[in-house]
Amino acid sequence: MDNLELNSDKKVKAITLGDDCIYIDLFDGLRLSGPLAPREEKQGAQERRPRRMIVSGHEAIYDTALALA
């Protein structure tokens, strides 16, 4: 975790870390977030579930051209 290097491309507006989560804000208005800590630390002996990313913003819009049509 000490040598965490975040790379972004032309679609990424900002990357922030906080509350054991990573938040990725895109220029399209979408925000991706997901757990930053390993599952073992967060869930311990609980049943393990697959890790998922959460999208907030314009969930139904996957293409800007479709939104303007």
The total of other beta-carbon atoms located within 10 Å of residue 58's CB is 14
Q: Identify the bridge partners of residue 31 per DSSP, sorted by sequence position.
A: 25, 56
What pLDDT shows up at residue 35? Answer: 83
For the chain, the structural domain boundaries read 12-68
User: In 19-53, where do the E strands start and end?
Assistant: 21-26, 31-35
Task: Provide φ and ψ at 42, rounded to 5°.
Answer: -80, -40
Q: What pLDDT, on a 0 to 100 scale, did the predictor assign at position 45?
A: 46
What is the model's pLDDT at position 41? 56
| Per-residue pLDDT reduced to its tens digit, 7-63 | 656 788 888 988 888 888 888 888 888 887 665 655 554 565 666 666 666 544 555
